[in-house]
């Protein structure tokens, strides 16, 4: 049978969306199989499944991979059982000249002419299929991990500590002290809340240096919540020190009010006082409106009326669209509704107080509100000036691999319709028209300190900074409450 040549192969038209040049790049051995089996030609974009199928087809045509030894001759046929002279075996014929590009076929194997010129492709096809499968699988896994990380960052649990805070074990707890697992978090100076997995809550104070510490534990002062935690319980530190209402937590009289917002009625606490300059508070990531209780007693002593808002997605408030947080990109409209309510109920001027994404909301309201002429100043604690950095920090805290972080940002951007700018346009310091008190920790994992420092240095005429160390996100007050309140008092005095 004559040996087929490459030019003798029938012309195989490529699909119109691939182009003619792709057909020419298809390996000859695959083209032969495709023509023989009447399979469609898909050019070099063969999927892993198609390559495995080709390998199975080629297995039927592959010759033996063993080469005959030098000087080997076929064995003589067996002797006949009948008596008589033995037949003379035929003289072995000369071996056929080998092809310049193919090995000689051996006995019991099908040669090049019989197989249509197909070489062995099992190893190559399987290796290619494995590589493509691994590559496609890794890519799909990375995309899926990015989506999961982005989705987790967009669905915070209100009132639950952020994943940046490690879980600690309660070893012992008495009426005035608690022993926790030794970690950088449990060694931080200051006042914090201690949130348990089952909703239990306590308040812890300074580290008791005089106490005898074991190598793996630390003893802290227990300010509130005696009996809440048993040995072996797990808990996390949080900047939200108090729980309850202004009356139950601080003994302050207040009113429950409802504010008409775009998603529906928004609940809020209103603590009345004598001044006509109000403070409107907005919490941030990992907390609820109970976070503002840490400053409510101080503001009440300064005679500032306080309106503490629960915005969309908070307990008791309407759900956010799709259940997703947009890092203040939509939530600022709820804070704008609170400003409108305050103006209608007697506020001459307002000071916006925000933590984390609540600070980002305050910046947007100051730039876009129809009542921005009533805004006297901004108090920004750990402002999220870039939602991308915050999302990456949340994903990193959940042990998301570094190469997946850009995918998480892209997934969140498309899922929630967030802006593509790395730094929020609302954080343009040149657009500021009112004084700003900026509190920031150097160890913030979600709101990078260099970004806040650059923001403050661009407008030294309006921005007053209060910098702390050894404090997590939204915990500048927790680091040293006395120093924080004194710096804030000096800022608020001209605005009274």
pLDDT for residue 418 = 76
Q: What span, in angstroms and rounded, lies between the C-alpha atoms of 195 and 419?
A: 33
Give the model confidence (pLDDT) of 219-261 as tens digits: 999 999 878 899 999 999 999 999 999 999 999 999 999 999 9
Query: Is residue 98 in some structural domain?
Result: no
Any residues with CB less than 8 A from the CB of 442 and at least 6 apart, and which? Answer: 449, 467, 468, 469
Residue 456: CATH number of its domain: 3.40.50.1820
- Residues 190, 329, single domain; the answer is no
Does 119 reside within a domain?
A: no
- pLDDT average per 10 residues of sequence, the chain (496 residues): 47 42 48 50 47 57 60 66 56 51 49 47 59 54 51 67 91 93 94 91 91 83 88 95 96 97 95 97 94 98 97 91 83 96 97 96 94 96 91 85 80 74 74 95 94 94 96 97 98 94
Cα–Cα distances (Å) from 384 to 242, 378, 381, 388, 391, in that order, read: 23, 14, 9, 9, 10
Per the structure block, which two tokens stand in for 271? 């603590």
Quick check: 195 and 288 in contact, CB under 8 A? no
How confident is the model at residue 14, as a pLDDT? 43
Residues 6 or more apart whose Cβ sits within 8 Å of residue 392: 405, 408, 409
What pLDDT, on a 0 to 100 scale, did the predictor assign at position 69?
65
Count: domains in the chain: 2
Considering the domain boundaries, does residue 181 fall inside one? Answer: yes
User: How far apart are alpha carbons 430 and 360 in whole angstroms?
Assistant: 16
Q: Are residues 256 and 336 in the same domain?
A: yes
- Which of 124-130's residues contact partners 24+ apart within 8 Å by CB, and which partners? 125/51, 125/52, 125/54, 125/55, 125/58, 126/51, 126/52, 126/55, 128/48, 128/51, 129/48, 129/49, 129/51, 129/52, 129/55, 130/48
Which domain does 177 fall in, by range?
168-238
Same structural domain for residues 194 and 335?
no
Does the predicted model carry a pTM greater than 0.85? Answer: no
Residue 480 located in a structural domain:
yes
pLDDT tens for residues 137-146? 545 555 555 5
Tell whether 378 and 319 lie within a shared domain: yes
The pLDDT of residue 7: 44
For residue 190, the model assigns a pLDDT of 97
- Among the three residues 238, 266, 281, which one is the final residue of a domain in this structure? 238
């Amino acid at each position: 049978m004559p040996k087929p040549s490459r030019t003798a192969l029938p012309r195989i038209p490529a699909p119109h969306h691939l182009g003619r040049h792709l057909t020419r790049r298809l390996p000859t051995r695959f083209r032969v199989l495709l023509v023989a089996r009447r399979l469609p030609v898909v050019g070099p974009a063969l999927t892993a499944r198609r390559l495995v199928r080709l390998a199975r087809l080629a297995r039927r045509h592959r010759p033996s991979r063993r080469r005959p030894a030098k000087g080997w001759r076929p064995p003589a046929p067996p002797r006949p059982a009948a008596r008589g002279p033995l037949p003379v075996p035929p003289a072995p014929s000369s071996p056929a000249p080998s092809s310049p590009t193919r090995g000689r076929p051996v006995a019991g194997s099908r040669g090049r002419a019989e197989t249509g010129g197909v070489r062995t492709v099992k190893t190559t096809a399987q290796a290619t299929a494995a590589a493509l499968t691994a590559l496609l699988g890794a890519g799909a896994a990375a995309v899926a991990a990015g989506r999961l990380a982005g989705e987790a960052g967009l669905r915070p649990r209100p009132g639950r500590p952020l994943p940046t805070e490690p879980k600690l074990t309660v070893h012992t707890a008495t009426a005035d002290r608690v022993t926790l697992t030794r970690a950088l978090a449990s060694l931080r100076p200051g006042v914090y809340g201690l949130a348990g997995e089952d909703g239990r809550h306590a308040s812890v104070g300074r580290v008791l240096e005089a106490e005898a510490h074991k190598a793996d534990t630390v003893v802290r002062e227990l300010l509130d919540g005696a009996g809440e935690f048993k040995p072996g319980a797990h808990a996390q530190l949080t900047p939200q020190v108090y729980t309850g209402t202004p009356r139950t937590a601080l003994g302050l009289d207040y009113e429950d009010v409802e504010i008409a917002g775009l998603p529906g009625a928004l609940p809020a606490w209103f603590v009345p006082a004598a001044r006509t300059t109000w403070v409107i508070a907005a919490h941030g990531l990992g907390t609820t409106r109970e976070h503002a209780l840490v400053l409510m007693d101080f503001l009440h002593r300064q005679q500032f009326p306080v309106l503490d808002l629960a915005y969309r997605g908070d307990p008791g408030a309407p759900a956010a669209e799709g259940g997703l947080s947009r890092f203040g990109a939509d939530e600022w409209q709820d804070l704008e509704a609170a400003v409108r309510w305050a103006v209608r109920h007697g506020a001459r001027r307002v000071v916006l107080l925000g933590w984390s994404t609540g600070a980002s909301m305050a910046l947007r309201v100051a730039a876009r509100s129809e009542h921005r002429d009533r805004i006297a100043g901004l108090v920004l604690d750990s402002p999220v000036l870039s939602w991308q950095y915050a999302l990456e920090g949340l994903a990193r805290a959940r042990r998301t691999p570094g190469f997946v972080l850009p995918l998480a940002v892209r997934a969140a951007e498309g899922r929630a319709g967030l802006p593509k700018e790395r730094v929020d346009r609302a954080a343009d310091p040149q657009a500021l028209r009112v004084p700003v008190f900026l509190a920031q920790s150097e160890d913030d994992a979600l709101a990078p300190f260099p970004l806040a420092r650059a923001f403050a240095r661009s407008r030294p005429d309006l921005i007053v900074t209060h910098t702390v160390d050894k404090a997590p996100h939204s915990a500048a007050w927790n680091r040293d409450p006395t120093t924080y309140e004194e710096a804030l008092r000096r800022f608020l005095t001209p605005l009274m």
